[in-house]
Structure 1
Amino acid sequence: MAHAILKIPVLSTIVTTTTVKLSKSLLNSSSLHGYGRGICYCSSAVSVSQQQQRQPQVRSPQLVALEYADLSIPHIVSEELGATRVRQHVNPLSSTLSIPVEVPNWNDVFEDPKLPLVVDIGSGSGRFLMWLAKRNPGSKNYMGLDIRKKLVTRAEKWVQELALNNIHFLFANASISFKQLISTYPGPLMLVSILCPDPHFKKRHHKRRIVQKPLVEAIVDGLMPGGQVFIQSDVLEVAVDMRKYFDAESEKLLHIDSFNSDLACDNEGWLVSNPMGIRTEREIHAEYEGAKIYRRMYQKPL
């Protein structure tokens, strides 16, 4: 008997990968500086090479800012935050991250805590979730989990600036805290995303990778019927490793591909594009450098 696939509208708008359109005036603005791989506009009187030398070239940080421009997020720097630079690699097995986070009062963090919940594990700066939350007020709640405290603190300040009441960020180790957090949430768990997690390349550090059997089991058990899991990485080894863990739950979780959905996949079952409506910051940087993104979507049967 075939399993039914429930189409969950992640966004209230049309789900397509965001394309950034750069106008000539924007390229000439002082906010786009530096020289690297870029885009130029040429007239018949000026050669391409001359124009490339004169035009400021667009780099991936500018592309990120443009893709998330409608959030209008201020660059907040305070004594508490200090500089916005943070450590990119944090050991999730450290003693300071082995204590479960305190479960928040859901009525305090969400206007309606019974709405379907979307959780982003390793939320980083948080702009990806904020973009989604801004487009889905009153229909979904969003929660970001990250083990870099400065990023979580800044994300919460941005949420306050944007006056969003359907999103919350927590400084938490998802491996330790996810199950308890989800078991206390009053509404259903609709979707979990794990997007470009820290690869921890060295073999002796693979145990630090976020996708491990206990977390995968907690995600699968916590999902509502029809709930989804979206994973992606620009590192093939990491993507294959995540795929291995989620494929192992095939009795409880179905891989969504071109055969049972309208999502386009390549010959190896990787999604061709991001189905969430916008790329993550890491995704933008990686694709700018020419890297391939390996994506996979799963769904819990009805």
Structure 2
Amino acid sequence: MARIRVRQHVNPLSNKYQQSISIPDWSQIYSNLSLPFHLDLGCARGRFLLQMAQKNPHRNYLGIEIREALVIEANEIKDEYNLTNLYYLYGNINHFLSELLASLPINSLQLVTIQFPDPWFKKKHQKRRVVQPEIVEIIGQFLNKKGQIFLQSDIEEVAQEMCEHFLENPQFKPLKSDIWLTENPLEVMTEREIATLNKGEKVYRTILTLNN
């Protein structure tokens, strides 16, 4: 399938992305709702989750993306693979995350990944970054007590800020005393991670858990 062309960045604060969304009936999408969920925020074209869902049929995968054309394409591809443990949802996560997580089975959220989010370098634009204190608080409310948060970026400032937002919330702590990981613990890398490493550039990664 040929790639569709979409804007690389969209402003999540624009009026277009302020509307609420309709939460699907998950029993009509996933074949087994008793499986743990992996939520990927900002899943882009969804290729990372596509591979993960094929490798791990014992887990449900849900990707959220603000660019609707990418979500439509990703769902078409997952349907071609007949995957019943994967779905992509369109919308601005800053406006419906609590409603979304409340709709999932209780204690099913096991892993949240936020990988290479838009950096929004200009100071006046940094409020557009996906990881904000409100998002952190909501994730902490719904994450399984043994769940994990995996963060990574090729921009050190962005990675540090994401990590700081989580650690400023008393619900979270680093998985290890050495916060930054030298290797990716997941079995699949995103396209952005592969491209970054191929250029010889560094990726900043960390895993956080609940402070039970």
Aligned to 1:217: 137
CA offsets 1:8-47 (integer angstroms, 9 cap, x no match): xxxxxxxxxxxxxxxxxxxxxxxxxxxxxxxxxxxxxxxx
Match of 1:233 in 2: 153
Q: CA deviation at 1:84?
A: 1.1
- Whether 2:24 is the aligned partner of 1:104: answer yes
Q: What secondary structure sits across from 1:297 in the alignment?
A: strand
Partner of 1:171: 90
Higher Rg of the two aligned structures? 1
Instruction: Give the match's secondary structure for 2:151.
Output: strand
Contact 1:175 1:210 in 2 (8 A): yes
Across the two proteins, how many residue pairs are aligned to each other?
A: 211
Contact 1:226 1:301 in 2 (8 A): no
* Pairwise CA distance, 1:114: 2.7
- In 2: Cα distance, 1:232 partner to 1:118 partner: 16
Amino acid at match of 1:178: L
Measured in 2, the distance between the counterparts of 1:278 and 1:228 equals: 17
Which residue identity lines up with residue 155 of structure 1 in the other structure? A
The corresponding residue for 1:158 is 77
In 2, the alpha carbon distance for the partners of 1:271 and 1:211 equals 19
Separation in structure 2 between the aligned mates of residue 272 and residue 109 of structure 1, nearest angstrom: 36
Equivalent residue, structure 1, for 2:210: 300
How many angstroms apart in 1 are the aligned matches of 2:36 and 2:91? 21
Deviation at residue 226 of structure 1 after TM alignment:
0.9
1-side partners of 2:126 and 2:71: how far apart?
24
Question: What's 2:183 paired with?
Answer: 273
Partner of 1:284: 194
Regions of 4+ moved over 6 Å: none
Instruction: Return the offset for 1:209.
Output: 0.4
Normalising by structure 1, what TM-score? 0.68
Distance 1:220 1:163 in 2: 32
Distance 1:98 1:112 in 2: 32
Give structure 1 stretches of 5+ with no counterpart.
Answer: 1-74, 78-82, 260-264
Are the counterparts in 2 of residues 253 and 298 from structure 1 also a CA contact under 8 Å? Answer: yes
Query: C-alpha separation between the residues in 2 aligned to 1:106 and 1:114?
Result: 11
CA distance in 1, matches of 2:128, 2:25: 30
Give the Cα–Cα distance (whole angstroms) in 2 for the partners of residues 101 and 255 of structure 1.
Answer: 33
1:121 corresponds in structure 2 to: 41
* 1:181 aligns with one of 79, 83, 100: 100
Q: 1 or 2, which has the higher strand percentage?
A: 2
Residue number in structure 2 paired with 1:60: none
1:136 aligns with 2:56: yes
Question: For residue 89 of structure 1, what is the amino acid of its counterpart?
Answer: H
The structural deviation recorded for 1:301 is 4.2
* RMSD of aligned residue pairs (Cα, Å): 1.3
Query: What stretches of structure 2 of length at least 5 have no aligned partner?
Result: none
> What's the CA shift string for 1:187-217, capped at 9, x where partnerless?
4111110000000111110000000011111
Match of 1:243 in 2: 163
Calculate the TM-score normalised by the size of structure 2.
0.95
In structure 1, what is the Cα distance between the partners aligned to 2:156 and 2:78?
Answer: 33
Percent identity, please. Answer: 39
Residue aligned with 1:142, SS: strand
For the residue of structure 2 that corresponds to 1:120, the secondary structure is strand
Q: Deviations over 1:85-139 (max 9, x none)?
A: 21001001111111121110011111112321110000011111111111111x2
Counterpart amino acid of residue 149 in structure 2: V
Q: Is the 8 A contact 1:270 1:294 kept in 2?
A: yes
